[in-house]
Structure 1
Amino acid sequence: MLNRLMPAPAAALGLGLLLALPLTAPAALADRAPAQLTVTGEGATEIAPDLATLQVGVTTTGATAAEALAANSAALEAVLARLREAGVEGRDLQTSSLSVTPNWTGYESSSSGPQISGYTAMNIVTVKVRKLDTLGAVLDAAVQDGANTLNGLTFGLQDPRPAMDTARQAAIEDAKAKAALYAEAAGVKLGRIAVITENSGYGGGPAPMFKEAAMSAAPVPVESGQLSMQATVTVVWDLAE
């Protein structure tokens, strides 16, 4: 009698496994990630810049480091004073580089070897011009009063957010239009948006052109062009069942 009752737990266990197996397939389907559609949208808007940034500097030489630096400081102070007179505010003037280096000669001499023949001092100031109609006069004033280094002229916006927001909205609309087109062509329906990522920035217009101020008494001619504010978004949609 005891031997006949022993298989009962095993039979019950087998029945439990059989009953559990059909339940695994629906559970797997419920956990399956939804099909998705990924689209990249692009948007851009053009706007006139309202800010110019440039680097103005003075390079001087002297028999000693102190002499070169003193001459440089005097010349740069005159340039800064002229820039302030031209309307550049103190907050828009910032020293970006200052160096004093020896000048070596005699490399070709095998007997005495290289010798220091003097020193060169260089001081570079980053200048922001917020009134672009005065930019030519500012450049002219800087060069006329002793600046002998002028480079890095770029244009930008004091507040780029409004223009960038316009480009972002255009990028989203572009992504939505593409997604609707692809979904219709594929015979599927768009569900909710799962992910939005952005990669944005702005590019300049034509490269600024200017002449040496010494060539003319008139303000230096400068063309600021247009800035292109660009936004790129990647949008992921879940596809509706």
Structure 2
Amino acid sequence: MGEEAKPLKTVRAAGLVVLGTAGVAVGFGFAVVGALRRNRPIHSVGTVVPGRLIIDAPGTTGSALFDSVGETPLIGRLSGSASWSVELPDIMGLAVRIPGGGHHGGEVDLLFASTGTGRLTRYILQLRTSSGTGPLTTMFPLTGVEGNIVFRLDPEPRNDYRLSYSRNSRPWQSLGRVSLEPSGEPTQRSNDPAGSDDLTLRFRPVANPPSGLTVPAWVRAVRAPAYKAAHLAWHA
């Protein structure tokens, strides 16, 4: 048994090395784009608003944050990936920070992007004109005791988003909603003196998962080097 496991471990280790190398390459690409734009390489213009996470249909995700009835304050940042200076289709994003819902009482960072919702399309990015014209998912899964978890937001009236989750690519199950305060003009910019940019508001989905859930090794191998390289280059 032990001898049979060695080749498998070797293959997994090699796979993580390949993914890590890809992550570094993506981070380098982000750094080049950031240097050319003289700001964040992606999601450079955003609107930051307070909101609430409201759980009214507790699930079985493995995280206490989503598995019990309750209401928690949060911070949301709405943005487009390319942040075009004119109105064009973009990959829409909603980053969410939830204080106190992470490991050891830390903060939780979740990144939602415009994708499909099918068993395969939930992992494929889609172009939209706004975050209110279609579903958003976390795309990259989190790991719980019973498998992988992907979260989903569906826009509703009055800046609300219906929150659901799927385990192991099964049908979506409702959890509650994310309610954001009304937003107007972009309030956070990286390259415009007319808007402030909070340097402390940097979402870290790899470092800040919800309590009870972990980031899979392959996701860390891709995301962590990419974010680190882009972060260092942007600050430099």
Higher relative contact order (CA 8 A, sep 6+): 1
For normalisation by structure 2, the TM-score amounts to 0.18
For normalisation by structure 1, the TM-score amounts to 0.18
Give 1 or 2: higher strand fraction. Answer: 1
